[in-house]
A and B are shown apart, each in its own frame.
Chain A
Amino acid sequence: MQHVQPSGEGPRDDDIVEMLRDGAHVRAFERLVERYERKVFRLCCALLRDPDQARDAAQESLVRVWRALPRYDRRATLSTWIYTITRNRCLTALGQRRQLDSISDPAVAQAAETAQAQQAQQAQQADPDCDPLQLLRELVDALPERYRQSIILFYYEERSVSEVAGMLGLPEGTVKTNLHRARAMLLERVRGLGLGDLQLWLENAA
């Protein structure tokens, strides 16, 4: 691909698939990048937490998409196919990260298991006077992984359950359950902070 056009009017998946059918792979990929680069980046951010790693993973995912584009057989929808490639790339990155951690320190594996609990505890002990949004984000980060991913993508994707389900490769019902449990856990943890009028605190945070 030589020239990626700047974002303009959003192309549809059907148009991109039509271009692929006609053999116009370069043009199809340009449209695909316009349509999916932000979503792929957000998915990587949600899965990897680290923006720098997310950027690299998003780029590599799109390179993989470009390489695999001639072999796209339309058995899955275009978005499902792209998100699957992206998730696989992120899983590889997470695996490499774990491997590096375990090479550098054998105790890290055990520490990783307790890290999440500690994070939650730290959030619970956080100063109530600090930025409420920052505190809320810390509480979200301390959620179990599947709840955290669902709730983050839900708000990144403007509250679209179907979009989150597609990105994570989960049924919509599972995403709804994850969201419900994530909210319940968040409320419970915010209550645990002892901030007085919870609703007022949340209103102030918003």
Chain B
Amino acid sequence: MNDRTERPAGHPAERTLDRGMDRGMDRGMDRGVDRALDRALDRALDRALAAGLVAPALPADFRRRLQGALAHAERQDIAALRDALEHDYAAQLAQLRGGYVRLRQRTLGTLIGLAFATGLAVMLALPWITVHWGPNGVFALPILGTTVGLALSLRAWWPGSRFARQLPW
């Protein structure tokens, strides 16, 4: 139901409504003016800030000082690197020494073990060797072992010698 259509012109409610509409229009216009003023103020503030907040210039000696700082940092880096390398070198050397000692112990142990094992094997195989190769057959194995050992030594001590180069291994 529309109240406005039933009220005669000049009715108090009608007059109130008209005044309200006028005020609404005024408020709308005011808001528009306010917005325009705000925009103008914003622009003025923007220009003032742009004039006031100028980016600081890089100090004249910035590059020179930067190069100095970089050179100093490089020297520090090199010193730190040298310390780190020396530390690594000492650690590696200690590791190598430890490994070398362990290798020598293992080699010695293996040689002693092999010598006793060979003696035991020859002792056990002696009857069979005597039966098949005669009474002097027992010398065949030591002679063979000595020959192989000498050849290995020769290759180890004089790897460039003509004889060592002729060896099959």
Contact = CB atoms under 8 A, between A and B. Distances in A.
B45 interface: yes
Interface in B31-52: 37, 40-42, 44-52
Contact of A183 (B42, B62, B66, B69): B42
A45 to B, nearest CB: 5
B56 A45 contact: yes
A59 B49 contact: no
B62 A41 contact: yes
Given A198-B41, A206-B48, A63 B69 contact: yes
Size category of the A interface is 35 or more
B56 A41 contact: yes
A79 to B, nearest CB: 17
Interface stretch (A93-101, A113-121, A133-141): A133-141
Given A42-B55, A62-B66, A63-B70, A155 B41 contact: no
Contacts of B70: 1, 62-63, 66
Interface in A160-192: 183, 186-187, 190
Most A CB within 10 A of own CB, among B47, B48, B49, B59: B49
Interface residues of B, number: 28
Contact of A202 (B48, B69, B73): B48
Contacts of B59: 51, 55
State the majority secondary structure of interface residues on A: helix
From B44, B50, B73, residue with most partner A Cβ within 10 Å? B44
Nearest to B53: A155
Contacts of B40: 199
A59 B52 contact: no
Interface of B: 37, 40-42, 44-56, 58-59, 62-63, 65-67, 69-70, 73, 77
Given A155-B54, A199-B41, 19 more contacts: A1-B67, A4-B63, A4-B67, A33-B66, A37-B58, A41-B56, A55-B65, A62-B66, A62-B70, A67-B77, A140-B49, A155-B52, A155-B55, A156-B56, A187-B42, A199-B44, A202-B47, A203-B48, A206-B51
